[in-house]
Amino acid sequence: MLGFYNYTVILTYMSLVSSLIGVTFAFQNNTFAAIICLMVSGLCDMFDGKVAKTMKRTKQEKNFGIQIDSLSDLVAFGILPALIGYSLGLKEWWGVAIIVIFVLTALIRLAYFNVLEEERQTKTQENRKEYLGLPVTTTALIIPLVYAFKNLLHEKFYILYASILLIVSLLFLLKFKIKKPTIKGMLIMVAVGVIELSLLIWLMH
């Protein structure tokens, strides 16, 4: 069979499955459930790299991991947020244009990251210490936070959502450095996610 099969890819596959379920919810206009799926994908993606490092892998296995992670990320943090926007009302030509820009910039960023990461791994075995530009995975925290304002803005919420997609699209491609979070930083982000989830449940009911 084609591919590499071991436990290091399980979280990546779980992230993809969650995002695909989220896509079906978005098509059904169940945006709240789609947002939850986005957050689950973010949680899986946050720790898949840590899990991968617990196993000694061949160069091919490492490259395979890089590729499937980016392909999964495109669906989870590019396509899913875009379809959530469509379900919220971004259906006119300008809304569709923003959706296209968002997915395209996510794709460009992920492909560029792969090029840099493969090149970096040929020079050093040290762990990456910083990111260039805004990682696409941050949408798993940004989008739920923005969604918390839905009941406040009502039918005008899609305008805010569209604006956030444009801003995030720009941040995907700008050359600025972000320190890669440590375990402590990751746990803080998990805590933020739990707070966001609690807020969303409180606001939606």
Instruction: Decide if 178 is inside a domain.
Output: yes
- Confidence class of residue 205 from pLDDT cuts 50, 70 and 90? low
Contact predicate 35/150, CB 8 Å: no
145 membership: H or E segment, kind and range: helix 139-147
In this prediction, residues 64-80 reach a mean pLDDT of: 92
The span from the CA of 24 to the CA of 30, in Å, is 9
pLDDT cut 70: percent of the chain above it: 97
Instruction: Decide if 22 is inside a domain.
Output: yes
CATH number at residue 93: 1.20.120
Instruction: Decide if 2 is inside a domain.
Output: no
In this prediction, residues 19-25 reach a mean pLDDT of: 97
Decide: residue 22, CB within 10 A, 0-12 exposed, 13-18 middle, 19+ buried: buried
pTM metric for this prediction: 0.91
Least confident residue range of 52-61, 62-71, 87-96: 52-61
Instruction: Decide if 1 is inside a domain.
Output: no
> Is pLDDT at 53 greater than 90 in this prediction?
no
pLDDT cut 90: percent of the chain above it: 52
132: helix, strand or coil: strand
Tally of structural domains, the chain: 1
For 80-129, the pLDDT digits (tens) are 999 999 999 899 999 999 999 999 999 999 999 888 877 777 776 666 77
Q: Which amino acid is at 45?
A: D
Give the structural domain span for 163: 7-204
